[in-house]
Amino acid sequence: MIVTVTPNPVLDRTLTVPRILFDEVTRATEVRLDWGGKGFNVSRALKALGVESTAMGFVGGATGQMLERGLQELGIATEFVHIAGETRSNIIVREAQSARYIKVNEAGPTVQADEVQRFLKQAAGRARQGDIWVLAGSLPPGVPADFYARLIALLRERGAKAFLDTSGEPLRLGCAARPTLVKPNALEAAQVTGREIASQAEAFDAVARLLDLGIEMVALSLGGDGLLLASSEEAVWARPPAVAVRNPTGAGDALLAGIIWALGQGLALEDVARWGVAAGTASAMGEGVSVGTRAEVEALYKGVGIERNRQIGRLVDW
């Protein structure tokens, strides 16, 4: 059983107009709604690989209902905590010819303390031995920075596995609570270790430091440089094939889905890294926050390059 948690969801509303004009009424030629949220992206990418998941998080108001219905229409089960505030929406006005745009992001509702408690209670009642919980994205106003850390502790007590993908303070506190897996990019890893990553040796150093916290598996994603995936026993570096990238936003979420799928197949670390990179790269090649089809991911899988290093402790020996 896989659960994805998106505490801070958003409805992205993209209006395409012929030209962006000020102080005039412009008619949209196209309206597009996207259900935004890192956990939802993981659910969508898992679905493309044939894996079911349940989406959890906080939703509220009419926008929350639309989001819930939208996910269900994609075939993703939802078990949200309904909050008093209205789920935020972002407005994107996009010019058809130039592809230039204006994007306005809402801050989003403040989640109340009793709503946070309701979520934790629901999670405690739902967590089962061996389940994977993906904790992904930022936290909305009102949700304390140690929310993921508390959730990780609660999941561990029940034998469920937490896979963490967030940034800043929630990531730092979350890592200290020892999730089963953490997936930072280079910037996020530096927020935990306090050291920048600008070389291969520094990437290894960051991964070693995260493993030292007691995290079982670290997936350090490095954009076009691929993925450094490590456990305390071994490390592999997987590199994507040369491809035309359209939009890398959300590629990290797809990568996480690829890793989850491959772990579920019981594959070796090297193949887990390969599937992760293939899924991430497929997403980076698509328009918008997209996920690749199973066939696209499989085709890319064959082109992923692998370098191995069993001596993760001895960083310079790469």
Q: Which is nearer to ligand ATP, 68 or 253 (CB)?
A: 253
Work out how close the CB of 266 gets to Mg ion at its nearest, in angstroms, rounded to a whole number. Answer: 26
Q: Which is nearer to ligand ATP, 127 or 206 (CB)?
A: 206
Q: Which is nearer to Mg ion, 252 or 286 (CB)?
A: 252
Residue 131 is among the residues annotated as catalytic for this protein = no
Residue from the set 174, 179, 240, 252 that interacts with Mg ion by CB under 5 A: 252
Q: Which residue, among 303, 306, 279, 301, has the nearest Cα to 51 in the 3D structure?
A: 279
Question: Phi and psi dihedrals of 71, rounded to 5?
Answer: -65, -40
Work out how close the CB of 154 gets to Mg ion at its nearest, in angstroms, rounded to a whole number. Answer: 23
Chain CA centroid to CA 4, Å: 9
Cβ count within 10 A of residue 14: 18
| Residue 137 interacts with which of ligand ATP, Mg ion, none, CB < 5 to 8 Å by class | none
| Residue 249 interacts with which of Mg ion, ligand ATP, none, CB < 5 to 8 Å by class | ligand ATP
| Residue 109 interacts with which of Mg ion, ligand ATP, none, CB < 5 to 8 Å by class | none
Annotated active-site residue in 12, 146, 165, 253: 253
Return the bridge partners of 217, or none.
181, 231
Looking at the chain, list the stretches that DSSP marks H as alpha helix, in order from N- to C-terminal side.
Answer: 38-48, 61-73, 113-126, 147-157, 168-176, 186-193, 200-212, 251-264, 269-285, 294-301
Contact predicate 133/155, CB 8 Å: yes
| Residue 89 interacts with which of Mg ion, ligand ATP, none, CB < 5 to 8 Å by class | none
CA distance 243 to 225: 12
CA distance 135 to 181: 10
Give residues in contact with ligand ATP (CB under 6 A). Answer: 185, 221-224, 226-227, 240, 243, 245, 248-253, 255, 277, 280-281, 284
Q: How far is CA 84 from CA 55, 62, 111, in A?
A: 19, 11, 8
Q: Measured at CB, which residue is nearest to ligand ATP?
A: 252
Work out how close the CB of 2 gets to ligand ATP at its nearest, in angstroms, rounded to a whole number. Answer: 18
Work out how close the CB of 233 gets to ligand ATP at its nearest, in angstroms, rounded to a whole number. Answer: 21
Applying CB under 5 A, which residues contact Mg ion? Answer: 252
Catalytic residues: 253
